[in-house]
Structure 1
């Protein structure tokens, strides 16, 4: 295969930026396709001048999707929304958007298509609307482009992540750190840089077509352990208190009326379910990638939440 140009849908987002930063050093020309191009300007610095370009594309408009793919030999779909707002609905973005990308990629003769999904997307019995949309998105990708590769990461961490940054912010403002239920549900956080590396590795290996890889870090934590790890990193002594999932869902439902909800009832539901790599699944190891431990990365961006701030000489190392 001779892949020179790659279109990355959702390249302005947290996961998309990590993928672009992994592609550029390998010499690929990268076209970042996104709805709001002003959010993608900073990702241009991932490559040399002109190597990373930005193009406006809306997954609800198939013509713009086809235009963004034209001329590329590979496509990566990292587009997604954490909550619904206005016309940005799970079905429109995750499902119909994936369908539009797959069909346009096939029509354009694209060689490779990589779809970013998530652990749990095999759960067809799930009543969670977010998970259902991920399941249907995978179906749409495979139906439209049978040689696609699907990557299912666990919760992704890195400087702009949601999980660790949110917990750290709560710890600086609240008298305690809440976890959903007893906090015993499991999660296997994976570093954003490793997710980007996985996408690059898949592109380089023709044998990864028609495959699904589940991406997790080197350690499985409970959400209570994640909260404790966050508190250790920022040097704050706060109680970790379990809040009944029912109450959290009610709070999440009301929060959805806010412009940017801090938590939705769908997200609460996810926090009560294990999010770990299944036994027997293809993993980062199958792509030759050693997963990065959260403990080695968290100090590089959570230090701003320490007592006295990032530059406090007496803050814990």
Structure 2
């Protein structure tokens, strides 16, 4: 019977409709999340990233979900944190969706700009469910996580403030309660997170250098994954997915050489491929368009600003 119950639970988890939750301001019923069906088609096998990196991520995820007893034995919370960073259009959001699909986890997407206080952030984390991916996208844009304002600064202001001015006092009180770097650090790896288990936290950014080092240290960001411009291996995945074109295509070798010299994101290449008709002729035309665009960019980079004043305009 225990085996039958375990298998039945596994089948229910695989066949259930998974959900995407976004945070909203809490109402009287303390409903912090607004749910919607999660049906993103991205998966690890069709993701346009280096195959070695993809296989490494898959192995890391399988290791994480299968080590509940190990985490308990070594005194660690059963959670793991990823930081995905790289230029726009390199597949960070697609990787988040692929990870959620691979693990068959629900997704809790947190908009930090909609969180009014550290306490609300704590409640959001506490109201997530086991078997979930908690996502914070563009974390460098959500908050100024490099600015640490000490409490003593507020104390100094309070001493110099005319307490009869209640409006200014109220504004200072609101500033104290706003979400802070300390609140985010506790959210990632503090006492707040001690009550949650089987959570994967994923943060994305285009500019990791803007983040406070305290947020990036091991234990808070267990793994940092760099997603860069399209390389030959990732291009082959795109060509196979969109055009059903393999390595034998006559333009593949030239594309490989150009991608080593010119920066082009997977999103830009995918947009070119989307314009193909889907037949053999369309695939050849799409490949040629990619080659033409790569050649144009290489020529543009070879021309100095002194020779062409328009370079800075694009």
The alignment's TM-score, normalised by the length of structure 1, stands at: 0.32
More helix by share: 2
More strand by share: 1
The alignment's TM-score, normalised by the length of structure 2, stands at: 0.32
Query: Which has more radius of gyration?
Result: 2
